[in-house]
Amino acid sequence: MPTEPVAVQPPKHPTHALTTYELARYRRELEHALKTVPEHAGVRELLRAKLAEVLAEQEARIKISGGGR
């Protein structure tokens, strides 16, 4: 596991405006960053909040497409 935290670049557009691919990529980056940031770091809450936003958007898209039946 790397010793240095990974920097997550914010997307160029709001979460709701990202393509499915961009959303999935951003989610992977956030998940990876959470694995590398120390447990006591204050930035973890920010990363968790961003990840929750991404997960909510992905869930909403699944429901809209009818895949959540």
Q: What is the pLDDT of residues 38-59, one digit of tens each?
A: 888 788 999 999 999 999 999 9
pLDDT of residue 1: 47
Higher local confidence (pLDDT), 41 or 4: 41
Quick one: what percent of the chain has pLDDT higher than 70? 90
* Res. 3: pLDDT tops 60: no
Are 11 and 22 within 8 A, CB to CB?
yes
Higher-confidence residue of 38 and 5: namely 38
